[in-house]
Chains A and B, each alone.
Chain A
Amino acid sequence: MAGFGAVVVEADEPVFHHDWERRAARLTMAAMLSGHLNGRFRHAIERMDPAWYLSSGYYEHWLVAAATGLVEAGVISQDELDERLDAPFPLAQPVRAPRLAEPGASSDAHRFAVGERVRVRDMHPAGHTRAPRYVQGRCGSVVRLDGVFSVPDVEYHCDGKRLEPTYSVRFEAAELWGEEGDPVHVDLWESYLEPDDG
């Protein structure tokens, strides 16, 4: 996503601009607390039709993700939604990636050290990844070792979880964009990284 123009700032903006936004937040929080959403929520937002995603606001994304996640969890059905709305209730696009049979082995020992040079793999995932595209294939230095967490790429497509160490990695602007500029630090799971052998 590049070249989007001005960032519009509204002074003293309220948390909710409309009552429907507040109600969307309310039902989303309830759905999250029910325990049925978890990783489905964030993934569902990413599966929205791109034109729809870009032309709708944050709380509409929440509405769609809550509805989609609950349908995928089997708690509500598309038919029930359509009936309540008395019209087709649009959801995010279905999950296309195949389910993983096994999450793979978890690890809690950091493989890389602060100062080490690493390269981000080219992920090309069918499903979800939290390796931002702009750093895939790029090299940087580890600046911080962070905690051990469930890998979203696995969690969203598997019944099991795989836990891995995470890192903050610093990338120079020349590396990312081919011109001088300021560095960007990105937080990455260990399996996104490989040693940079020069």
Chain B
Amino acid sequence: MSPVEARDAAFAEPTLPRANGAPVFDAPWQARAHAMAVLVVERTGRTWDDFRARLIGAVTESPDRPYWESWVAALDDLVDESVGGLSGGAVPGGGVPGAAGDGPGAC
């Protein structure tokens, strides 16, 4: 599974509460999104400051969208730039298997 598919699987939340049709993201989603970001950072050999810089960039680019959309965009950036995909281990958020050795451009 590619990093992007792993991310999408972790973000998939069939029981997502909604108000007025817009998702009200609750704590379990946030926790999974955050854990995903931490693991992507760790396994791509980047630093948290790299992710943070991308988050800043994404928020600056679109200041009116919810921060979680910028978060996903920042994570996408980081994943796209990673060479060699994610290494080893399970990714939290429903037993999604790791994506070892998918190679560059797997997403």
Touch test A–B (CB under 8 Å): yes
A161 to B28, CA, bound (A): 15
Residues 35-78 of B contacting A (Cβ, < 8 Å): 35
- Interface residue tally for chain A (C-beta within 8 Å): 15
- Of A35, A106, A148, A161, which one neighbours B94 at CB under 8 angstroms? A35
On whether the beta carbons of A35 and B17 are closer than 8 Å, the reply is no
A38 B28 Cβ-Cβ under 8 A: yes
User: Which residues of chain B in 11-28 are interfacial with respect to chain A, using CB atoms and an 8 Å cutoff?
Assistant: 17, 19-20, 24, 26-28
Residues A161 and B93 in contact, CB atoms below 8 Å apart: no
CB distance from B34 to the nearest CB of A (A): 9
B24–A33 contact, CB under 8 A? no
Chain B residues, Cβ within 8 Å of A147: 24
Cβ of B92 and Cβ of A33 under 8 Å apart?
yes
Q: How large is the interface on B (under 10, 10 to 19, 20 to 34, 35 or more residues)?
A: 10 to 19
Which of these, B17, B20, B35, contacts A33 with CB under 8 Å?
B35
A34 surroundings in chain B (CB, below 8 A) = 92, 94
- What's the least CB distance linking A38 to chain B, in Å? 6
Asked if B93 and A106 make an inter-chain contact with CB atoms under 8 angstroms apart, the answer reads: no
Q: Mark A142-181, 1 if CB is under 8 A from B, else 0.
A: 0000011110000000000101000000000000000000
Q: Is B107 an interface residue (CB 8 A)?
A: no
**CA distance in complex: A32, B94 (Å):** 11
State how many angstroms separate the Cβ of A130 from the closest Cβ of chain B. 14
How far is A163 from B27 in the complex, measured between Cα atoms in Å?
14
